[in-house]
Chain A
Amino acid sequence: MKRFQSILVAAFVLLAATVYLLPVSSASAQSSASLSIVPRKNYTIEPGKSVKDTITIRNLDTERPLELSLRVVDFTYSDDGGTPKLMIAEDAPQTTWSLKPYLKLPKNVVIEPKSSKSIDIGVSMPANHGAGSFYSAILYSSGSSEGGNVGLSASGVTLVFASVPGEVDQNLTLKNFGAYHVAKDGKPASYVYATMDIPYTIGFTLKNEGNVTESPVGSITLKHMFGEETVINDINPNKSLALIGQERTFAACIKLQSQDVNFNGSASQTKACAEPSLLPGLYTATLDMYYGQNGNNTKDLSSTAHFWYLPLWFIIISVIVLLLIAYFVWRIVSKVRGYSHRKAQPKRSTRRR
């Protein structure tokens, strides 16, 4: 009987332990950290109206479910480029352009391995809301790991932009314009006025002091000192934005190269700067730029800049040519002097006599 009791107790303890441990191990299992999301959403919403949309998230992991927690965070610019500075701290202050109060989405989502799920989101703008650009980001966070010195956690972000139509304050000022070297091999990006390296891009830096994001369009004409012209027809092919308050640098390729690529089974096109064919010498760049929101004035900005492109081979050849010219001039001068000297000498000797 005692033995039976012992077996019963042992079985109970084992069962209890199993029941206790199973959910724990399941709860502590690391979520997948392989996801596919939409990187950006744009909406136009009139005051008092709302927009309903779906966002599709895909779990690329073949074995683990993707467990994500979703929340809205604000963002701003981090520099003069297009990288968002996410305000992920829970107590981060709300920005004046925040969509937080108007953007509704579920708090959690679980996606089975190798499948996708569409989640409903909604943006509602209150009536009498002022016109302008409003933006925040949806942050999808996978669970963090437990154990070790360094744990890894993957998150994805969708940038959400909403434009509220109406009369807005549009104010871009041109801060800089000219030949521009993008950051490369540890060298920071910079405007150049004389360069030995061929410039791939013409840059222009705009300060946005309005209450809307701006995406400028227009062209740049590049004219060589001997008249040859190169036109950059699209100064902002990626539709990049200057955020509110940002001093944004746009780098327009002098020669833009498009390439068809297959991304994840679908056709896509990428654009990159190719090496332009520029002659050495002085260049004049002329910027003709337009910007403006729907229903508001289209504003224009224009500017002119100059730069020298003097490659090393050109400098070397120029120096050699100059030296050769100097040498020949010296030879000619010497010959003329020698001739004059010879001509003058008999006269002097005659006089002496």
Chain B
Amino acid sequence: MHHHRRAQFHEQVNSWHHVWSEAILSFVLALLLLVTPVSAAQMRLQDRSLYVQNNTPSVETSYTVSFRYMSPESIGSVSFLFCVDPIPYHECVTPPGLDVSGATLVDQSGESGFTILSKSTNHIVLTRPAGPITSAMSSYKFDNIINPSNTDLSFSVRLRTHATPNATGTQIDFGSVKGQITEGILIETQVPPMLIFCLAEEVADNCASTNETFYKDMGTLEPATTLSAQSQMAVGTNATGGFAITASGIPPSAGTNVIEPLLLSTESKPGSNQFGINLVANNAPAVGIDPQGIWANAIVASDYNVPNKYKYVSGDLVAYSPNVSLMKKFTVSYILNTSDELKAGVYSTTITYIASGRF
């Protein structure tokens, strides 16, 4: 009885074994058939580059596109599609101002024998009798291309190779090259970026006027009292990178005696030597005003943004905007505390606020 059952089991397993082997074999064959052409079509052209002879906006110039063919396939055409975005599967938006409809192919090296089959505002197709790749690294120079007009956007050339003579059907290799038009010396049609900055004890929101007071006498230093003062600065920019304001200068000193600055964001403590600033409204002591202006992206740096906590490190960023910012007014609060041990003298400093663009 047992022997009979074991024999039946072996027979069953053996038949499954055959079925599984055949199934796996068929699956692998199917994979090979399906995957091989797909992977060939997915290869990226390597060592891709674009050389724009004159990268001033809107001028007529020559472009040289170079790349290395990767698939050992027969090539009959190459497509050059000029778009803002380099990603091949995204919708192509023509770079503003670019025009390649007058392009001429003036030089080719490596894989050659190409002529221009068709051209439009943002598309060139090169064609030749389909032939195998013999020299991988190739270069194509086009004259009479009009550069994009917009320096804010980079642009790309999406490349595709095909076996067909008219850039249709399955692509063989693909890839993109990146180009950039830089600002000319004079661009009359564009509003130049500007950074507006003013500083005084009191300033108007738009920097049109100040109270023309550029120093503050904070009074007599006494251990029990916190001396305070405030100044204002207004800033704005139409530069896409925004602005940054840093504060620099030595802390208040009299000869070789220095009132130590607060290197960390700290509360005011009368009786100890402290010099610090912040850019918000405080009540200990009552000094300062929160930033004024509706523009939300111009902000105070985090270390100088805490009410009743002060800090001063020369060279620190105190306010910034990551992009275009209309005028915003910042009020800087200063505090001075002294200990009994501080030597007598007239303690003074000059704080330089530097407004710069960002990169």
Contact = CB atoms under 8 A, between A and B. Distances in A.
User: Are these two chains actual partners, yes or no?
Assistant: yes
Interface of A: 30, 33-44, 51-53, 56, 58, 60-64, 78, 81-86, 88, 137, 139, 141, 144-159, 161, 163, 183, 186, 188, 213, 215, 217-219, 231, 233-234, 237-241, 243, 261, 263-264, 266-272, 288, 290-292, 294-298, 300
A58 B322 CA distance: 23
Contact of B195 (A37, A85, A147, A292): A37
Contacts of A183: 302
Q: Which 10 A-B pairs have the closest CB atoms?
A: A39-B357, A157-B356, A148-B215, A270-B324, A34-B198, A82-B358, A295-B51, A151-B350, A145-B214, A154-B199
Interface of B: 44, 47-52, 55, 64, 85-87, 90, 152, 154, 156, 175-180, 182-183, 185, 191-201, 203, 207-210, 212, 214-218, 227, 229, 231, 233, 236-244, 246, 248-249, 252, 296-297, 302, 305-306, 315, 317, 320, 322-326, 334, 336, 347-359
A86 B48 contact: no
A217 B179 CA distance: 10
A133 to B, nearest CB: 11
B353 A38 contact: no
Given A42-B182, A150-B334, A264-B236, A36 B194 contact: yes
Contacts of B334: 150
Nearest to B356: A157
Contacts of B354: 86, 88, 139, 155-157
Q: Is the interface of A mostly helix, strand, loop or mixed?
A: strand
B359 A155 contact: no
A149 B198 contact: no
A63 B200 CA distance: 14
B215 A150 contact: yes
A290 B86 contact: yes
A61 B199 CA distance: 11
B70 to A, nearest CB: 14
A268 B355 contact: no
Given A38-B193, A38-B195, A288 B87 contact: yes
Contacts of A52: 185
Given A39-B237, A42-B182, A155-B354, 10 more contacts: A34-B210, A51-B185, A78-B317, A148-B215, A150-B229, A153-B350, A219-B85, A264-B238, A288-B87, A294-B51
Contacts of A152: 199-201, 214-215, 231, 350-351, 353
7 contacts: A51-B185, A61-B198, A85-B315, A149-B218, A150-B334, A292-B177, A298-B178
Contact of B351 (A153, A217, A291): A153
B178 A292 contact: yes
A237 B243 CA distance: 16
